[in-house]
Amino acid sequence: MYHRRLQPKELDELLTKIDKESNLLYFTYLTVRRQQTVHYGQFSSDGRLLGVLAYLYGLPFHAFSYVLFSEEVCIRSLLTYLKEELNLPDGDVGSTFVPEKDAPIFSSQLGSDSPQKVLNLMKHIDLASLTPADHRVVRIEPRYFDLVKSRMKEIDAMAFTEEELNNLPFYGVFDEGELVAVGGYHLFDSVYVELGNIGTTVSRRRQGWGRIITTELTRRAREYSSDVYLYVFDDNVPAIRLYESLGYRLIFKLQRMEFSL
């Protein structure tokens, strides 16, 4: 068994071997996030690719994704190799999301046996569920960026980065001069759009602002791509019901896995 970094041609070949929706997070690492990622493969002694582990730069935590091709894969040794190649700090924690079917192998090999949150992947499939456009939703101008960043802290947006605010469409709803709801995208590409960073200021929740901002984000995304997704934690029942009412449907569930590097 041996490990090495994969080359661009090999990443192109992987795109022909994986199912997009079953490996959606890793699919984004191969496509729209490729410039920010590195991919390492584990090979058997006879040259068969057993699995791939990829690392994403730029997030406020150590973000990984993966694809497995064989039960022979040893995730811990692949992770150790990647950590040494990238000089990641000892004692830090890595994070990824795995389909429930893969959770046992990750738990057994990486020691991540503590209860972890379940994440729902939802896809928009029903345009008829979207209400008419609301003129109160406006694109956020740079002069409001600091305000948006404060809102992201308020709603504890886990994967928000300032790079997204500067490079992706970001929208908000103002009421009586107050920014009451915000939302944007983690990815905005014709191949795939992922909504994210959606939230309502605490004092204005349960007043319909989340529906307004999510509807407009979805409408604009569907004009750009037929594949529009979002992630929501399984225990956030009000948000799930909102997304369902807007035409989103559950694709599958994933577990958040955290593990020592």
pTM, two decimals, is: 0.84
The per-residue pLDDT of the chain, averaged, comes to 90
pLDDT digits (tens, 9 = 90+) for 66-115: 999 998 999 999 999 999 999 999 889 999 988 888 888 888 888 765 55
Per-residue model confidence (pLDDT) at position 206: 77
Per-residue model confidence (pLDDT) at position 112: 63
* Residue 161 binned pLDDT confidence (cut-offs 50, 70, 90): confident
pLDDT, average across residues 150-172: 83
Helix (H, G, I), strand (E, B) or coil at 36: helix
CA distance 61 to 245: 32
Q: Is 2-88's fold the same as 123-252's?
A: yes
Q: b/e string for 221-239 if b means 16 or more Cβ within 10 A? A: bbeebebbbbbbeeeeeeb
Per-residue model confidence (pLDDT) at position 200: 84
pLDDT digits (tens, 9 = 90+) for 202-223: 777 777 888 999 999 999 999 9
Query: Is pLDDT larger for residue 137 or for residue 156?
Result: 137
Per-residue model confidence (pLDDT) at position 155: 76
pLDDT digits (tens, 9 = 90+) for 171-190: 999 988 888 899 999 999 88
Asked whether the predicted pLDDT for residue 152 surpasses 80, the reply is: yes
Per-residue model confidence (pLDDT) at position 203: 73
CA distance 40 to 57: 14
Give the N- to C-terminal CA distance of the chain in Å, as an integer. Answer: 20
* Residue 240 binned pLDDT confidence (cut-offs 50, 70, 90): very high
**CATH of segment(s) 123-252:** 3.40.630.30
Do 66 and 39 meet the contact criterion of CB atoms below 8 Å apart? no
**Could you tell me what percent of the chain has a pLDDT over 90?**
57
Q: Sign of torsion, CA 49 102 62 73?
A: negative
Tell me yes or no: is domain 2-88 CATH 3.40.50.2300: no
Neighbouring CB atoms inside 10 A of 151's CB total 21
pLDDT digits (tens, 9 = 90+) for 50-67: 999 999 998 888 999 999
Residue type, 30: L
Q: b/e string for 20-41 if b means 16 or more Cβ within 10 A? A: eeebbbbbbbbebbeeebbbbb
Per-residue model confidence (pLDDT) at position 114: 56
Domain chopping of the chain, boundaries: 2-88, 123-252
User: In this structure, what DSSP letter does residue 172 have?
Assistant: E
